[in-house]
Structures are given as structure tokens and as C-alpha cells.
């Protein structure tokens, strides 16, 4: 099979899976709704509980899950290639810790209302993510031309610990109920209950995905070594810069939308590699689509399994993803 055919097949297979999950997920929930009423336009929307549950509670939530899952899984692929490290995640370089610090400052000190109707928490977390990216980027460029992946990794990991310490310090200053809220934020939550936060997250994620689209070939070469990539005509510095900034931007937007949902950025790319191989032209689209399907599926379990209670989605991604990944790992060897 030619690579073109394999790419088409990957898009088709993973695309169909993602669409099936995203279409199926809004059909189930903690309550049963009457679908003939949902689309009945003769009932005023304000009086139509079934339509409100579908359009206000479920649909935005599924869309948010798809966006966050897709962005985190694709960013995971990029970071693993950029750092040449199978253990890299979108959160390795401090982006999520920066986002968490921003969100927690907003939650703890009840920052005044955000800009243009958006609430303070997502704005503060996105600002925190960008701040972390800027620091890591500046450090990695300080001593040489281009990005030193070694410095990138060390600076990121150090910044992660530093921000985590600041988070704990802020929690220490806050009172108990606020601490509980911040801990809960760290587990991820996709109950966005309106479309506004998603509209805000679309531009950065779309911009990142546009960059992802031109990266796969260069990443294939870059994941071998800088030298071999350069000898094949890849502008190594430019590729690294584009990869780092776009993946960080996508991660920051995803975390400000749904919180730092763990595990997706590492488990989905590896699952996908077990299925389609290591070629980034296949891995990247498959991970983006698979990440969307995986998170939407996990969130569906999270909101239905113990209803009316809710299992934090970040807990479920690890509980479901971990064993499944280990099983695949053993089976494929």
C-alpha cells in the first residue's frame, strides 16, 4: 500500500471513529431525554427542557471534550518528536503548570471579571500558559542559536516543579474550600455549559493545527537526529520553533478550556503508534482524531456512571487509559 493510501485510510478510519463517538455521546447522559422534543421547534426553547439539556448541557460538553482531547493528543505527538523522548507529554515543559497557576490565582483571589464576557479563570490560565512558554523559550534560546532540546527539557521540568511549588503555596494561603476547588480544577472538567469558552479557544487551537499540518515530514527526519534532518534540507531551527510554539499554544488553550486532563497526551499517541506505526504523517492526524474520541468517550462515562454524581474526567482518562495501554503494549510484543 502506498503512503498516500495509508494516509487516506488513517483519516478515514480514525475520522469515522471520532465522528461516531462525537455523534453518539450527546445521546446519552445522566437523564433520559425525549429526542422528538429536542428538535421540536414548535416548543419555545426556554420551555423545552429536553432541548436545553441537549443544546446547553451536552453538546457544548462533547465539543469541548473533542477540542481538548484532540489538542492534547496532537501536542503530545509533537513534544515527543521534538524532545526525542517517548515520555514527553504536553505538560512536560511547564505549560500546564503555568496554566494551573494562573487558574488557581484567579480561583483563590477571585480576580475581577474577565474581558468581553469571558470569566477570569480561563483567561488567567491561558495567560499563565503563555507566560510559562515564554520563559522556557527564552531560556532554551539564551545560549545558542535555535532551540536546545536539552535545555528545553531541563528548563521545562524545573519550571514545572517551580510552578507546582507556587501552586501549593497559594493553596496554603487560601482557605479550605478554595483549596478544594483548585484541587478539583486540576482533575479536569468539561462541563462548560455554554459555547463562549469554546469560541475563545478555537483561534489558538486552529492556528496550532495549521502549523501541525506542515510539520509531519520534518518531524519524521527530526526525530532521527538534527544532523540527518539538516542534511535532507530541513530548517531545523525553524521546525523546532514552530513545533514548540504551536504545540504549547494548543496545550495552553486546551488546559484553559478543560483543565489539565492528564494521560491523553501520552497514552493516545502511543496507542496510535501501536496501530499505524511511527510515521508522523499518520500518527499526527490519527492522534488528533483518536484523542477527541478518547476524551469524549471518557467524559461520557464520567457524567453517566455515578450520576447525579460526576467522576472527575482526569481520573477516568488514567483509569481507563492506563490498563488499556498496558494491555496493548504486551499484546503487540
Partner 1 sequence: MAAYTKSLVVIAAVLVVFAGVPSAQAPATPQRIISLIPSVTEMLFAIGAGPRVVGVGSFDRYPPEVLTRTKVGGLIDPDIERIISLKPDLMVVYATQTDLRTQMDRAHIPIYLYQHSGLPDITTTIRAVGKRVGNERAAEELARQIEDDIAATRRRVAGRPRPRTLLVFGRDPETLRGIYASGGIGFLHDMLEAAGATNVFADVKGQSIQATSEVILARAPDVILEIGIDTASSPGRNLRAWDSLASVPAVRMHRIYQVRGDEMMNPGPRVARAIQRMAEALHPQVSDK
Residue numbers at the binding site for partner 1 (CB under 8 A): 29-31, 45-49, 52-53, 56-58, 107, 110-114, 119-121, 172, 175-177, 181, 184-185, 189, 191-194, 303, 307-310
Cell matching residue 320: 481507563
Classify burial at 32, counting beta carbons within 10 Å of its beta carbon; exposed 0-12, middle 13-18, buried 19 or more. Answer: exposed
Of 222 and 297, CB closest to partner 1: 297
R_g (Cα) of the chain, nearest Å = 20
Taking the complex as a whole, the smallest distance from the CB of residue 46 to partner 1 amounts, in Å, to 4
User: Is 200 in contact with 114 (CB distance < 8 Å)?
Assistant: no
Classify burial at 266, counting beta carbons within 10 Å of its beta carbon; exposed 0-12, middle 13-18, buried 19 or more. Answer: buried
Of 6 and 181, CB closest to partner 1: 181
Of 53 and 286, CB closest to partner 1: 53
Of 279 and 310, CB closest to partner 1: 310
Of 121 and 298, CB closest to partner 1: 121
Taking the complex as a whole, the smallest distance from the CB of residue 253 to partner 1 amounts, in Å, to 16
**Cα–Cα distance measured from residue 29 to residue 36, given in angstroms and rounded to the nearest whole number:** 16
Taking the complex as a whole, the smallest distance from the CB of residue 207 to partner 1 amounts, in Å, to 25
Taking the complex as a whole, the smallest distance from the CB of residue 215 to partner 1 amounts, in Å, to 33
Segments in 215-279 forming alpha helices (H): 216-222, 226-231, 236-258, 264-276
Going by C-alpha positions, the residue among 127, 129, 124, 104 that lies closest to residue 114 is 124
Please state the separation of Cα 1 from the chain's center in Å: 32
Taking the complex as a whole, the smallest distance from the CB of residue 257 to partner 1 amounts, in Å, to 11
Taking the complex as a whole, the smallest distance from the CB of residue 185 to partner 1 amounts, in Å, to 7
Taking the complex as a whole, the smallest distance from the CB of residue 327 to partner 1 amounts, in Å, to 28
Of 110 and 143, CB closest to partner 1: 110
**77 prior amide bond cis, ω within 30:** no
**Cα–Cα distance measured from residue 80 to residue 58, given in angstroms and rounded to the nearest whole number:** 33
Of 11 and 55, CB closest to partner 1: 55
The number of residues making up the chain comes to: 333
**Cα–Cα distance measured from residue 290 to residue 17, given in angstroms and rounded to the nearest whole number:** 8
Amino acid at each position: 500500500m502506498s503512503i498516500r493510501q495509508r494516509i487516506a485510510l488513517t483519516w478515514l478510519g480514525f475520522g469515522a471513529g471520532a465522528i461516531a463517538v462525537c455523534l453518539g455521546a450527546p445521546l446519552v447522559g445522566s437523564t433520559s431525554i425525549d429526542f422528538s422534543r429536542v428538535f421540536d421547534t414548535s416548543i419555545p426553547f426556554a420551555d423545552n427542557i429536553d432541548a436545553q439539556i441537549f443544546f446547553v448541557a451536552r453538546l457544548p460538553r462533547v465539543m469541548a471534550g473533542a477540542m481538548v482531547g484532540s489538542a492534547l493528543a496532537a501536542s503530545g505527538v509533537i513534544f515527543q518528536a521534538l524532545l526525542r523522548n517517548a515520555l514527553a507529554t504536553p505538560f512536560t515543559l511547564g505549560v500546564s503548570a503555568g496554566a494551573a497557576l494562573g487558574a488557581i490565582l484567579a480561583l483563590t483571589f477571585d480576580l475581577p471579571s474577565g474581558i468581553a464576557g469571558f470569566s477570569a479563570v480561563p483567561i488567567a490560565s491561558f495567560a499563565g500558559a503563555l507566560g510559562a512558554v515564554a520563559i522556557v523559550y527564552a531560556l532554551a534560546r539564551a545560549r545558542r542559536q535555535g532551540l536546545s532540546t536539552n535545555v528545553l527539557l531541563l528548563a521545562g521540568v524545573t519550571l514545572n516543579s517551580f510552578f507546582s511549588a507556587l501552586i501549593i503555596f497559594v493553596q496554603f494561603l487560601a482557605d479550605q474550600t478554595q483549596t478544594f476547588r483548585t484541587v478539583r480544577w486540576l482533575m479536569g472538567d468539561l462541563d462548560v455549559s455554554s459555547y463562549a469558552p469554546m469560541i475563545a479557544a478555537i483561534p489558538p487551537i486552529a492556528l496550532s493545527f495549521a502549523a501541525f499540518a506542515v510539520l509531519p515530514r520534518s518531524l519524521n527526519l527530526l526525530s532521527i537526529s538534527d544532523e540527518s534532518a539538516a542534511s535532507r534540507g530541513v530548517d531545523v531551527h525553524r521546525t523546532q520553533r514552530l513545533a514548540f510554539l504551536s504545540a504549547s499554544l494548543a496545550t495552553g488553550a486546551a488546559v484553559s478550556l478543560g483543565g489539565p486532563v492528564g494521560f491523553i497526551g501520552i497514552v493516545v499517541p502511543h496507542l496510535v503508534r501501536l496501530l499505524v506505526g511511527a510515521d508522523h504523517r499518520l500518527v499526527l492526524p490519527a492522534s488528533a482524531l483518536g484523542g477527541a474520541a478518547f476524551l469524549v468517550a471518557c467524559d461520557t462515562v464520567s457524567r453517566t456512571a455515578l450520576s447525579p454524581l460526576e467522576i472527575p474526567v482526569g481520573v477516568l482518562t488514567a483509569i481507563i487509559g492506563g490498563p488499556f495501554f498496558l494491555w496493548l503494549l504486551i499484546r503487540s510484543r
